[in-house]
Amino acid sequence: MNSDKNPFIIAGYISPAYFCDRTEENKLLLRELSNGNNLALISTRRMGKTSLIQHCFHNDEIIESYYTFFVDIYASRSLRDFIFMLSKSIVETLKPYGIKIFQQFWNHVKSLHAGISFDIVGVPSFHLGLGDIQRPEATLDEIFKYLSIADKPCIIAIDEFQQIASYPEKNVEALLRTYIQQCSNAHFIFAGSQQHVMGNLFLSAARPFYQSVSMMHLQSIALPDYISFAQNLFKVNNRQIDSETIRTIYQRFEGVTWYMQKMLHVLYNMTPNGGDCNEEKIDEALQTIIDSFRYTYSETLFRLPEKQKELLIAIAKEGFAQAVTSGAFVKKYKLSSGSSVQAALKGLLEKDFITKEAGIYKIYDKFLGIWLLDNY
């Protein structure tokens, strides 16, 4: 391990050495996939869904036995976008396998030929534009024809899957469900947050994906596992951190992975080679983080409609807010009326400023929540 580098990763996935626990979840994923099941992976934001998929794709048995495709559809707005992103991911993934493997795909996706070219030694490149996807359904059909004959079974992880619920095309769920069900050579992981949307997609009897997948809810990593992970990374880099410090930040951020990593990252930076990190450093670390976001936060708040801003601040103050449209809540925070709160609530939920779980509203970005309390 390179000792100059901060070992607490705050973006993306590097390798198992920097990855905390998830042993059971990883095993479960592997078991479901090898049994040929499809999986829905759901959690609150920043818990580690995307990283868990990457971690799983790094398993030797997965690398040897499968083609793994990862598609993040967060930015997609239509079936056409979706097909575009899926095609791109497949091309990029198959490229390193060489021309013979790639040819199999190429032979099946005639509709993509305009967007894929080969250089002089046969290395493919993808320069498809969205406009080249003329008939998304035809391309989807070709892609699935390829998936069903690929020389290895395929795992396709579709991240931010809840996006498909907002596509304008009406039949997307039914269409995908049909292809996925018929293709035994490909297994799917559907990851997403916005729990009510993901939940509705898979748990509502009227929807095409109902009962078609195994559900996996990702929870916080257990505190003892985080303690040993963090202490070990400090130790191998000639530093120390006491378990109480880790426990305190765990409690403060409900063990949500990204906040743990971010805090530990900054605490690590504050600890000199040979030094100790203890609870006294927590406030300073938190302040450093909040300061770094200060500009973004003021800008964000400035752009927010007045009613949404007022409600956001009220929810921050309340912490775990319930019955926010009730007279009592409206009065407590001097909001204008239940119906205006209702409208503001919708806006905040849509923009992911707040989350709703089991009737409780919370600020999605916990650092923003702290900043709001400091400033309002």
Ligand X SMILES: Nc1ncnc2c1ncn2[C@@H]1O[C@H](COP(=O)(O)OP(=O)(O)OP(=O)(O)O)[C@@H](O)[C@H]1O
Which residues of this chain interact with ligand X, rule CB under 6 A?
9-12, 19-22, 43, 45-51, 193, 221, 257-258, 261
- The residue at minimum Cβ distance from ligand X is 48
Q: Of these partners, ligand X, Mg ion, none, which one is at the site of residue 261 (CB under 5 to 8 Å by kind)?
A: ligand X
* CA-closest candidate to residue 51, choices 1, 8, 2: 8
Q: Of these partners, ligand X, Mg ion, none, which one is at the site of residue 255 (CB under 5 to 8 Å by kind)?
A: none
111 binds Mg ion per the rule CB under 5 A: no
- The residue at minimum Cβ distance from Mg ion is 50
| N-terminal to C-terminal alpha carbon distance within the chain | 43
Nearest to ligand X of 20, 91 (CB atom): 20
State the helix-helix crossing angle for 366-375 and 282-303, rounded to 10 degrees. 80
CA distance 51 to 54: 5
User: C-beta of 49: minimal distance to ligand X in Å?
Assistant: 4
User: C-beta of 50: minimal distance to Mg ion in Å?
Assistant: 3
Give the per-residue SS3 of 307-342: HHHHHHHHHHHHCCECCCCCHHHHHHCCCCCHHHHH
Nearest to ligand X of 41, 330 (CB atom): 41
Q: Of these partners, Mg ion, ligand X, none, which one is at the site of residue 47 (CB under 5 to 8 Å by kind)?
A: ligand X
User: C-beta of 230: minimal distance to ligand X in Å?
Assistant: 10
DSSP-derived pairing of the beta strands 67-72 and 154-159: parallel
CA distance 257 to 240: 20
Asked if residue 304 lies in contact with residue 312, where contact means CB atoms within 8 angstroms, the answer is yes
Nearest to Mg ion of 46, 187 (CB atom): 46
163 binds Mg ion per the rule CB under 5 A: no
Q: Which of helix, strand or coil describes residue 79?
A: helix
Tell me how many residues contact Mg ion (CB under 5 A). 2
User: C-beta of 74: minimal distance to ligand X in Å?
Assistant: 8
356, burial (CB in 10 Å: exposed 0-12, middle 13-18, buried 19+): middle
Could you write out the DSSP letters of every residue in 18-49?
Answer: G----HHHHHHHHHHHHTT--EEEE-STTSSH
Nearest to Mg ion of 22, 49 (CB atom): 49
Tokens of 266: 């900054």
Q: Of these partners, Mg ion, ligand X, none, which one is at the site of residue 355 (CB under 5 to 8 Å by kind)?
A: none
Nearest to Mg ion of 49, 239 (CB atom): 49
Q: Of these partners, ligand X, Mg ion, none, which one is at the site of residue 139 (CB under 5 to 8 Å by kind)?
A: none
Placement of tokens 């024809």 in the chain: 145
Nearest to Mg ion of 76, 237 (CB atom): 76
User: C-beta of 351: minimal distance to ligand X in Å?
Assistant: 14
Per CB under 5 A, which region of 46-54, 108-116, 149-157, 255-263 contacts Mg ion? 46-54
Nearest to ligand X of 38, 50 (CB atom): 50
User: C-beta of 93: minimal distance to Mg ion in Å?
Assistant: 18
Stretch 3-42: interaction string toward Mg ion, x if CB under 5 A: ----------------------------------------
Nearest to ligand X of 87, 193 (CB atom): 193
User: C-beta of 204: minimal distance to ligand X in Å?
Assistant: 21
CA distance 242 to 227: 9
CA distance 39 to 52: 13
Quick one: how far is CA 63 from the chain centroid? 22
User: C-beta of 191: minimal distance to ligand X in Å?
Assistant: 7
Nearest to ligand X of 50, 111 (CB atom): 50
The greatest distance separating any two alpha carbons of the chain, rounded to the nearest whole angstrom, comes to: 72
DSSP-derived pairing of the beta strands 360-363 and 354-357: antiparallel
User: C-beta of 50: minimal distance to ligand X in Å?
Assistant: 3
50 binds Mg ion per the rule CB under 5 A: yes
Give the per-residue SS3 of 171-195: CHHHHHHHHHHHCCCEEEEEEECCH
The residues that touch Mg ion, with contacts defined as CB under 5 A, are: 49-50
